Structure formats: structure tokens, C-alpha cells
Amino acid sequence: MIAAGLLHDMAALQGNERSQLGYKRAAKAVIGLPMPVSDLVQAGTLRDVPFVGPSSARIITELVETGSAKTVDAAVASSAHGAKVMALRQLRGYFLSQFAMEQALGRPAADGVVSRAEFRGDFQMHSTWSDGGESIEAMAKGCLSLGHTCLGITDHSYGLPIARGMTMGAVTRQHREIDRLNEELAGRFRIFKGIEANILADGELDLQPDERRVFEFVVASPHSMLRREHDQTSRMLAAVRQAGVTILGHPQGRVFNSRAGVAADWPRIFAEAAKRRVAIEIDGNWHRQDIHYALARQALDAGCLFALDSDAHSIGELRFTDYSIAHARIAAVPADRVINCWSNEHLEDWMAERRG
């Protein structure tokens, strides 16, 4: 992640989009490597990585061989964009690379800590009913291929038109489709009827309480005011307290190298969520990784439940749950606190409890 960050630094210093894109592509390629860059430098194969050009390779090699990046430091110091780079560096903390994620998944953990083997299903994903790229049936088959035995479909609610949020009429039609699929998959797989509702500025949701009761579970997520520096504790507390909310989705709303997301008193929010048995999501989308392992540890200490989800919009993104599980393992979250590991019966009881 250090090497990738340096390449993002260089991208921010470039005067044209083509040069920026070159460094950004190299950074993305480095982040996705299944081994540390030091192995490639020592083997002399760093340039074999797609999108890693001569300039990027020199920076990474310098980092590996000297432990620092004087080339980048000098470029930042002499640039008029130095302040921008320093601000961007604050937006890369607690993200895992592909290699770090795989290390976390493979490292022995204390007894009871969640693992891939116990993971049954993913409770945030999107289909063609909103802004996803695949049908519910295709997503179910993708989950089955990963060994999952259930999923929760959570297309966007109508208050988020930019994500093609569903009308309540569309919800009725979607639920008929889910009923049909559940009948066809009975005994092998279960699809739970969920929705991703939008948290408004005051903590209310874009779904009314009676509309929420149509769903088996509700993920409440912030999609606005994610670049504001003011404290939004009251907004997030209000969201957790909303009737029918089951999961607090990607609570920070952060994005790698782009935004820090919601600023709030997270221990206070976690305490409220624990009291109400609202699960805190670890969104595994690579650019989100939200919440991260340090906050997950705070949520664990507060007594929270967890949802480890992919936020997938395609079959290929279903594997983002690996990042969720990795963050949970680093935080030492027990499997019995993770809803994705529960039986269908346990899930049904908990969802019914939250609906009231």
C-alpha cells in the first residue's frame, strides 16, 4: 500500500490526464498483486506487471532498496500541488492490499474468530433492479459457485434516483421474482428480501416505516454529505434508531484516495447499535473497506453485531467479501457476532425482531 500511495502522489502532481492515468493504473496494479512488491524487485520482474512503466518501477525500486522515496518527496516539495498530495495521504489509512488481505485470511486466528469456512452468505449486493449489472438469479448462481448458501439482495430504494432506486411497485415485482427463485432453489439456497435505504441529512430514511416492513431486512447507508468536515453523530444515531433498520451500511462512506466520509463519534454510535442489535457493516468493496479493522475493534468492544458484505454490483465483485472477512479477522471478531455465519432460522428471528 505504501508503494501504491507513492504512485498516487505522483498522479496528483501531473499536469495532464494521460500522465495521471498512467500512475493511477500502476497503483491499482500494485494494490492487486498477490505478493509483496519487494519479491518482484528482487526477482527483476516488476516491469512484467501490466501498467507498471519505467517511472513507476523506479519509484517502487527506490522504496524497496532504500526504505524511502526521495524521488517522490522531491517532486512533492517542488510542486505547487504539494498541499493536495498531503491531503490525499490522509485518505489512504487502514486499507488492505490484495496481499495484506490474503495474509489476514491465511493467518491462524484465535478460537472462534470468523473465517471463510463459516461464511454462509452476503447481505449487501445489487442487481439489475437498480444499479447492478446482473439479474438476481445470476447473482444467486455466483454465490452458489463460491459455496454460499444464502444471500440478501439490497437494491437501492427510490430516494436515490442516481442509482436507479426502485419504486415500491418495482419492489412488489421483484419480490415475486424472489419467491419464484426461492421455490426453485429450495433446500439449496435462500434469497432474503432486503433494501438499501438512503440516510437523509437529518437521519431519517427515504423509506417510510410502513414501506420498510415490506422487506425482511433494511440496510441504512449514507450516500450524501460525505465530504463534510462537521460532526454528524446525531445524523448517524438517528439512523440507527429508525424503525426496521437491520444493518448500518458502509457507515463512514469513505473512498480510497478520494474522501474521508462521515465524521462522527463512532464509539457512541456503536454503543447505540449494540443496544438495538443493529449490525455494523464491513463493506468489502475494495475502494470502501468501510468500516476498517481499527473501527471494527471498537465496535466489537461496544458489543456490536457485524455484517460482512461485498456491496457487489456484478458477479465478479462478490469476492469483495474476502476484504470484509480480513478486516474482521484482524479485529478478532467472533463468528457468532457475524450475521453472515448464522443459520436461516437465526437470521429470520433477528430480522423479525428488528421489524418489530
Whether 51 and 131 map to the same domain: the answer is no
Whether 137 and 85 map to the same domain: the answer is no
Whether 136 and 73 map to the same domain: the answer is no
Identify the pLDDT of residue 245: 98
Whether 203 and 62 map to the same domain: the answer is no
pTM: 0.95
Whether 72 and 120 map to the same domain: the answer is no
Asked if residue 97 belongs to a domain, the reply is no
Asked if residue 46 belongs to a domain, the reply is yes
Question: What CATH number corresponds to the domain at position 16?
Answer: 1.10.150.110
Whether 219 and 262 map to the same domain: the answer is yes
Whether 243 and 283 map to the same domain: the answer is yes
Backbone phi, then psi, for 149, in 5-degree steps?
Answer: -120, 0
Residues 323-342 pLDDT 10s: 999 999 999 999 999 999 99
Whether 85 and 169 map to the same domain: the answer is no
Torsion-angle region of 286 (φ positive above 0: left; ψ -120 to 50: alpha; else: beta): alpha
Could you say which of 55, 89, 123 is where a domain stops?
89
What single-letter amino acid sits at 205? L
Asked if residue 107 belongs to a domain, the reply is no
Asked if residue 18 belongs to a domain, the reply is yes
Whether 256 and 293 map to the same domain: the answer is yes
Identify the pLDDT of residue 15: 87
Identify the pLDDT of residue 282: 98
Cβ-based neighbours of 297, under 8 Å, separated by 6 or more: 331, 332
Whether 153 and 256 map to the same domain: the answer is yes
Q: Whole-angstrom Cα distance, residue 264 to residue 169? A: 35
Tens place of pLDDT per residue across the chain (356 aa): 899 999 999 999 998 899 899 999 999 999 999 999 999 999 999 999 999 999 999 999 999 999 999 999 999 999 998 999 999 999 999 999 999 999 999 998 889 999 999 999 999 999 999 999 999 999 999 999 999 999 999 999 999 888 899 999 999 999 999 999 999 999 999 999 999 999 999 999 999 999 999 999 999 999 999 999 999 999 999 999 999 999 999 999 999 999 999 999 999 999 999 999 999 999 999 999 999 999 999 999 999 999 999 999 999 999 999 999 999 999 999 999 999 999 999 999 999 999 87
Identify the pLDDT of residue 109: 82
- Kind and range of the H or E element at 246? strand 245-248
What is the spatial order of strands in the sheet that 306-309 belongs to?
Answer: 121-122, 150-153, 190-199, 217-222, 245-248, 279-283, 306-309
Q: Positive or negative, the Cα torsion across 99, 102, 104, 109?
A: negative
Identify the pLDDT of residue 97: 95
Question: What CATH number corresponds to the domain at position 246?
Answer: 3.20.20.140
Q: What range does the domain containing 33 cover? A: 2-89
Identify the pLDDT of residue 356: 77
Asked if residue 244 belongs to a domain, the reply is yes
Question: Is residue 40 classed exposed, middle or buried when 0-12, 13-18 and 19+ CB atoms within 10 A define those classes?
Answer: buried
Residues 187-227 pLDDT 10s: 999 999 999 999 999 999 999 999 999 999 999 999 999 99
Whether 85 and 116 map to the same domain: the answer is no
Asked if residue 102 belongs to a domain, the reply is no
Identify the pLDDT of residue 129: 98
Asked if residue 101 belongs to a domain, the reply is no
Asked if residue 283 belongs to a domain, the reply is yes
Whether 35 and 169 map to the same domain: the answer is no
Domain total for the chain? 2
